[in-house]
Structure 1
Amino acid sequence: MKTLVIAAHPNLENSAVNKTWMERLRSESNVTVHDLYHEYPDFKINVEHEQKLLLEHDRIVFQFPFYWYSSPSLLKEWQDTVLSYGWAYGSEGTKLHGKEFVLAMSTGGPEAAYQAGGYNEYSMSELTKPFQAMANLTGMRFLPAFITHGVRFLTQEQLNETAEKLVSHLKA
């Protein structure tokens, strides 16, 4: 199975977890790591190129830090332009049907903050509903998300462990 990891972090140089994950994933065969902020610093997305990448892969992964209960802005822009009507959805928009979709996310806050009664009041499952709806609309199968909480407090050894767990999660 060929996996496309669409990584989106606007300050990657300051993100130990996302850098660690990307470096580890790049060493896997059949995994393509695609760094949106490196590829499109001007936010001018090459839709044709992006759609071709999607067609070449069986599993699509969005990797990003969970910002303001969503993804960084370039990933949202990518969704708005690449997942177009007639290509990704609509009566003739079947190009992604049957592909698998996974979220790989990091949060600065602890896991307890992301549940009913926690600091953020909602679970990650509730907060990621728009991504689940996107997968549904485009005919992709939404698989369980990979989430690492409290990344600001992890040692490099723990970050490496999360990278290994991510690889295992994506191979499952």
Structure 2
Amino acid sequence: MSVHLSEHDGLLEITALIGWPQRCVYGALALVPLLAPYELIIGVAWRSYWNPFFVFAAAVSVGALVVSALLMLIALGGRDRRTTIDTKAGRVSFVEWSPVGRDRTRAFPVGALRSFDVRTHGWTDGDSYSLDFHWAGGPSFAVASSLSREEIEGCRATVAAFLQRH
């Protein structure tokens, strides 16, 4: 996910996007598991469907279809985010959208923003980081996420400097 910051006229926009090239890669990867059902079910001339080898091939094919569906869901349903801090209007708004699905919008007063920090998410193949906004008596939101801690720390420093100026 790429993170972009832009500041103009008392607005700070933080945009976190899953790019179209990345979506296309996930879509292409979703086609690869579809070879398993073809090779195991259609490509083989089964004389009888009532044997353990066919049941095993069918189970592998169902698993491959599930993997393919999950990859396509990531490609089409991955949510992009835009957070706008508008100091003139005194509002922070969050908008999430994807190529399929409904847009989600939430807004909070700037004064209700209690803190924002970098959170580390531990994974088996490395860490990822997110910038979280915490609201008084309310939820917290991951505004941006990245594999680079420096990128998220830079976002946090930009937000802190922006809020200090306004």
**TM bucket by the smaller chain?**
under 0.3
* Greater strand fraction, Structure 1 or Structure 2: 2
TM-score (norm 1): 0.26
TM-score (norm 2): 0.27
